[in-house]
Chains A and B, each alone.
Chain A
Amino acid sequence: MKRVTFRTAGTRIVQYRLLVMLAAVAIFGAVSVNDFLTFDTFQSVLDRATVVGFLALGLTPVLIAGQIDLSIGSALSMAGITTIFMQPIIGNVPAALAGLAVGVLIGVINGIIVVVFKINSLVATLATLLIFASLALLVTNSYPLSSADPIFGIPLTSDLLVILTPRSAIFVAAALIMFVWLKATPSGRNLYAVGSNAPAATSAGINANAYLFMTFVISGFCAGAAGVLQSLSTAAGSPVAGAVMLIPAITAVVIGGTRLEGGRGSSLATFGGVLALGALTALLEYNGVPSYTQAVYTGLLLILLITLDRIVSGDGTTTSRTHRRGRVAPNTPSNS
């Protein structure tokens, strides 16, 4: 009996993890910082979370499909550099489109390597991470590019409808679009099928390879969007901008609940994870907590969430359930 109660409580916490986190942050924030719970704070948190948020958003379909994309940081850097570089040549808006195109291109390359050359995505995107990070340093000679028109991107972080900024509005819109696609369209459902069991999906008539390819393109596109927004907002194309963002992006996705095994996930969950991580970071920052201590909290949170997840729900496969059944102590009734 006791065990069921614990597991039930634990399950509830895990399911509503985002709510719990946000509530906790709100409470701690209200207590420790002046004016923490204001529209300004919300606007600032969401705005700052946008760039990493786009990376996390793009990662979500990839993970649902059972793959991973480590190159998103390098794609972000390349897209940002392209945008700034092209501004004086083709104009501000076309330059932004060029940056997006670079992101898509990197996604296509990843897709080809994984689907056509059948190299697994961990190694493939590790290699492209190295290649494009290097390329970014090479083409800029390690110097960040300065924008020829720094004023253009400034409105991106200005006030919009009190709680948003133009760039965070774009992010929210993207998250909603992806949500609708994943949950409400046939192709979205097919993606889950491919991620759960690719051979079964194939025999059901779904072109698994096409879906896998598409997820990398999406991830590249989102990384490109992140890079464009980042570089325009800071009026600079930095070759290392994306390098530090991979880990926060993965953290946000994991906090949100999407798992690395494939077949499960949700863009709203990712959005929630991004928001929760952003809120936590803001809370710690406003309290003057040094960045290394922030890393301790974030890391512990990650481990805690994933451990709870594992203890409470298992990994869902028959193997683990067998293990669990086998682990029940002999004198405990096996179904209480």
Chain B
Amino acid sequence: MNARRNIFVASAAAAVLLAVAGCSTGGSTGASGGDAADGSVEGKTICYVTLANSHPYVTPANEGAQAAADAAGVKLTIVSEEFSAQTGADQLNTCVSRKVDGILFWPADENSYLPGLLKAQQEGIPVVAIDTRAGDESMKLVASFVGADKYDQGKISAQQLDKALDGEGGIVIIAGQAGNGTEIARTGGFIDELKASGSKLNVLATVNADFDQQKALVASRDLITKFGDQIKGVYAEDDTMAKGFLQALEESGLTITPFVVGINGEAGAFDNIKAGKQFSTILQPPYRNGELAIQTLIKVMKGEKVDAMVPLENTVVDKSNVDTLKPAM
């Protein structure tokens, strides 16, 4: 009973879809790349594959991007990969097949976007990467990267901790999501700087807490249980995770006061620096990141030349300037 009906339904469905599709094929919005001469981008479309719809750093970045697009009269479609590079790669492919005029994407890992980037290149659609670098192969296909230099942030953090601990002591690293470009850069920059400066800081352990406070809390509890007062310094790759560590520390009741350095310039971190619980953070304004990224992409769409990397400044915030600066989020 069901078989015949199912065949009928399925083929009818397919037929309907194809027939309707066939009726309107051919008339796609203009392929991109053109109009370089007159420089107008009004009414053009940009597809923005963002990391998340709902995240303390990404949300302001998305808002900045939207604002910049609105200011230029460009139609922005935002799709979110929700931290999954596989989804993002699919969405990149979709953007290309929609023949948009420009693509902005936020790499969640190094390589997954390569096929989509190759296709974009074939179609002549300019692409800009925001906030996190993808792998070298992928970055060759990208017109520009707009974001903070994460590797540099790792370097700066190493210098900060070195300064705070006078060059020696046990430290733990609370890293972000494994395999994520930001995590790779921030960890790499940190470790390389320690080696380069000949620092005697000793990395007791590295844990991945995926840029999440709850996970950092759980991981920190275990670190504190295991190493206790050996922990003289903590490098948390973002302020949310730094908060998780501080929470675990308070819970444990241990009277150690390790130096904690974080990144991102969150409001909570500012408070912690003022209170002496956190040593420093690095300000990286997300709204500006989004804004600048779209502006850069629009420049490329207009045919202007842009740098391979448009950096967001890294500003160190510690007790000396915490009162004069504003948190990024």
Contact = CB atoms under 8 A, between A and B. Distances in A.
Given A236-B111, A291-B53, A285 B79 contact: yes
B179 A238 contact: yes
A22 B15 CA distance: 11
A15 B5 contact: yes
Contact of B86 (A15, A26, A241, A290): A241
A190 to B, nearest CB: 15
A282 B94 contact: yes
Interface in A264-290: 264, 266, 268-269, 271-272, 275, 279, 282, 285-286, 288, 290
Determine chain B's interface SS by DSSP, over half rule.
Answer: helix
Interface string B63-103: 00000000000000111101011110111011001110000
A94 B2 CA distance: 39
Nearest to A15: B5
Contacts of A47: 93
A141 B20 CA distance: 48
A26 B16 contact: yes
A150 interface: yes
A120 to B, nearest CB: 27
Contacts of B29: 34-35
Nearest to A51: B86
A234 B28 contact: no
B275 interface: no
Determine chain A's interface SS by DSSP, over half rule.
Answer: helix
A147 B53 contact: no
Contact of A230 (B7, B9, B17, B86): B86
Contact of B20 (A16, A37, A244, A290): A37
B267 interface: no
A166 interface: no
Contacts of A40: 28, 97-99
B23 interface: yes
Contacts of A271: 10
B85 A42 contact: no
A39 interface: yes
Contacts of B24: 30, 35, 37-38
A144 B109 contact: yes
Interface in B12-67: 12-14, 16-18, 20-25, 27-29, 53-54
B9 A19 contact: yes
A142 B115 contact: no
Query: Residue among A16, A41, A236 with the most chain B CB within 10 A?
Result: A236
A39 to B, nearest CB: 5
A238 to B, nearest CB: 7
A218 to B, nearest CB: 19
Contacts, number: 152
Given A154-B115, A236-B85, A271-B10, A163 B3 contact: no
B20 A26 contact: yes
Contacts of A279: 17
Chain A interface: which size bin? 35 or more
B114 interface: yes
B208 interface: yes
Contacts of A241: 84, 86
Contacts of B3: 183, 266
B137 interface: yes
A286 B109 CA distance: 23
Nearest to B91: A285
B80 A291 contact: yes
Nearest to A29: B20
A233 B98 CA distance: 19
A285 B79 CA distance: 6
Nearest to A230: B86
Contacts of A143: 178-179
A191 interface: no
B68 to A, nearest CB: 16
Contacts of A236: 85, 109-112
A224 interface: no
Given A41-B21, A235-B114, A288 B78 contact: yes
A143 B184 CA distance: 10
B135 interface: yes
A26 B17 contact: yes
Given A23-B16, A26-B16, A35-B29, 10 more contacts: A15-B9, A22-B13, A142-B178, A146-B111, A163-B18, A236-B85, A244-B87, A272-B9, A285-B94, A286-B77
Interface of A: 15-16, 18-19, 22-23, 26, 30, 34-35, 37-44, 47-48, 51, 141-144, 146-147, 150, 153-154, 157-158, 163, 183, 230, 233-236, 238, 240-241, 244, 264, 266, 268-269, 271-272, 275, 279, 282, 285-286, 288, 290-292
The 7 closest A-B pairs by CB, nearest first: A142-B178, A234-B112, A290-B53, A143-B179, A144-B179, A268-B10, A154-B115
11 contacts: A18-B13, A22-B13, A37-B24, A41-B97, A48-B94, A153-B115, A235-B111, A236-B112, A238-B179, A266-B2, A286-B98
Interface of B: 2-3, 5-7, 9-10, 12-14, 16-18, 20-25, 27-29, 53-54, 77-80, 82, 84-87, 89-91, 93-94, 97-99, 109-112, 114-115, 118-119, 135, 137, 178-179, 208
